[in-house]
Amino acid sequence: MHIYLNDLIFNGFHGVYPAEKKIGNTFKVDVRIDFTPTTKTIDQLDQTIDYVQVFQLIQQIMAMPTPLLETLVATIADQILANHPIAENVFVKITKQQLAIPYFEGTTAVSIERARV
């Protein structure tokens, strides 16, 4: 089974350049969590992964200024696995919505996929 949190929007001060630390940017976060249910029918919250808790975790991590998106995606994936024992695999993608690069149109993103070992 998969749980998705898509198009989560955060404002933050992530980046290595002075303007990124001062002005900030908008970031889009997408997460997929894979798990195997222990019952055929899930009818209780404790039989699944509470996406509200996952959102709150992501919100806390995205609030901490971090130079590299690579660090952020790894931290989010690792914390989801640490806080949700039934999570088997986590995919996290963070997209930087604007870049302060002349003539650059588009976005950049960093993603990671981590599995429980």
- What is the tens place of the pLDDT at every residue in 65-100? 999 999 999 999 999 999 999 999 999 999 998 877
pLDDT in tens, 93-109: 999 988 777 788 889 99
Instruction: Annotate 62-86 with three-state secondary structure.
Output: HCCCCCCHHHHHHHHHHHHHHHCCC
C-alpha distances in angstroms, 58 versus 40, 53, 98? 29, 9, 20
Please indicate whether residue 20 or residue 70 has the higher confidence score (pLDDT): 70
- What is the DSSP code (8-state) at residue 107? -
Tell me the pLDDT tens digit for each residue of 33-65: 999 998 899 999 989 999 999 999 999 999 999
Domain map (residue ranges) of the chain = 2-115
> Annotated catalytic sites, by residue?
96
Band (pLDDT 50/70/90 cuts) for residue 110 is very high
What is the chain's percent helix, strand, coil content, to nearest 5? 30, 35, 35
Over range 25-34, report the average pLDDT.
Answer: 97
How does DSSP classify residue 46?
A: G
Which pLDDT band holds residue 116 (cuts at 50, 70, 90)?
Answer: very high
CATH number of the structural domain 2-115: 3.30.1130.10
Identity of residue 89: N
